Structures are given as structure tokens and as C-alpha cells.
């Protein structure tokens, strides 16, 4: 997945809580910067505005893709 500054992505909750094990939950984030395989992200509301550098492997997808999938399945918020 090609990730660029300004993208909205879903990041696995694990790096936010300091876990090495992948979670089933994701947090919507804005990409602040990209440096190779590292991505600087900031959590979006309603989550705290925490920012951190993560490995790109923690990205679960684009935020918009999940919303479109939920709508297609009739599971929109």
C-alpha cells in the first residue's frame, strides 16, 4: 500500500498500547510523515490526539475503505 503524508489510515491499536501482539481493533489516524517503512501518525477524534512513529506493517488499511465496506454490507454507523 502506497502511504503518503496527509492520508487517512486505520492503524492497529497494538502500537498505541505497547503490545507486540496484533489486535482486532484499529484506530483512524492521519499520516503526518513517512520515512521508508516508518510512518508518523496521529490518532483522530474521538481518540486522543496521540502521535507516534510506527512500522507500516501496523497499518490495517485506509480509513475510507473500511467505511465503504461497512456501507456496502449495510453496517454503516
Domains in the chain, number: 1
- The pLDDT value recorded for residue 16 is 94
Between 76 and 53, the higher pLDDT residue: 53
Cβ–Cβ contacts within 10 Å for residue 15, how many? 19
Q: pLDDT tens across 50-73, in order? A: 999 999 999 998 876 555 545 555
Distance CA 42, CA 5 (A): 11
Task: Decide: residue 40, CB within 10 A, 0-12 exposed, 13-18 middle, 19+ buried.
Answer: middle
Strands (E), 1-77: 8-12, 26-35, 38-43, 51-55, 59-62
Mean pLDDT of the chain: 86
The answer to whether residue 2 sits within a structural domain is no
The predicted model gives 22-27 an average pLDDT of: 94
Between 10 and 2, the higher pLDDT residue: 10
This prediction has a pTM of 0.78
**Enclosing domain of residue 19:** 8-72
Q: Identify the CATH number of the domain in which residue 39 sits.
A: 2.30.30
The answer to whether residue 61 sits within a structural domain is yes
Amino acid at each position: 500500500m502506497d502511504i503518503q503524508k496527509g492520508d487517512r489510515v486505520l492503524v492497529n491499536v497494538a502500537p498505541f498500547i505497547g503490545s507486540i501482539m496484533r489486535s482486532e481493533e484499529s484506530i483512524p489516524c492521519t499520516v503526518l510523515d513517512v520515512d521508508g517503512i516508518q510512518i508518523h501518525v496521529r490518532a483522530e477524534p474521538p481518540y486522543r490526539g496521540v502521535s507516534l512513529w510506527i512500522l507500516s506493517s501496523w497499518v490495517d488499511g485506509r480509513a475510507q475503505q473500511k467505511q465503504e465496506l461497512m456501507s456496502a454490507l449495510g453496517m454503516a454507523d
